[in-house]
Amino acid sequence: MDYNYLMEKAIEVSKNAYAPYSKFPVGACILTDTDNIYCGCNFENASYGLTICAERNAIGSAVANGDRIVKAIAIYSPNQDNCTPCGACRQVLYEFSNKNLGLDVIVKIGEDLKIYKLSELLPEGFSL
């Protein structure tokens, strides 16, 4: 899979974000082990704790469609280069990753893509 395509989809879906409070729109696009693609954007709430991040929105769509293993995720915000997932999203990504193969986290820095392994961003993720 071309990670540029995943990033293009993340950029596209970031335009649908509902971020009236933070003014920080984010789009995410995931690739599953079945080669399906799901996108999500963040949506905020006046009660900030009810806000849903783009990454968890995309994973929720995958789960709702029967996909459980994420191979890669592209994350984009027009407000920040190197827009990596928050701590909660890192743990959720860990839950839905193949622990043996890892998960690629793709971000944009200028015109370039940077690829992290989730294990770099969340060493020793929590698992039962």
Residues catalogued as catalytic: 55
Give the integer Cα–Cα distance in Å for 3 and 29.
10
Contact 72, 3 (CB under 8 A): yes
E strands, the chain, in order: 27-32, 37-41, 70-76, 104-109, 112-117
Q: Which residue carries 């039962």 as its tokens?
A: 128
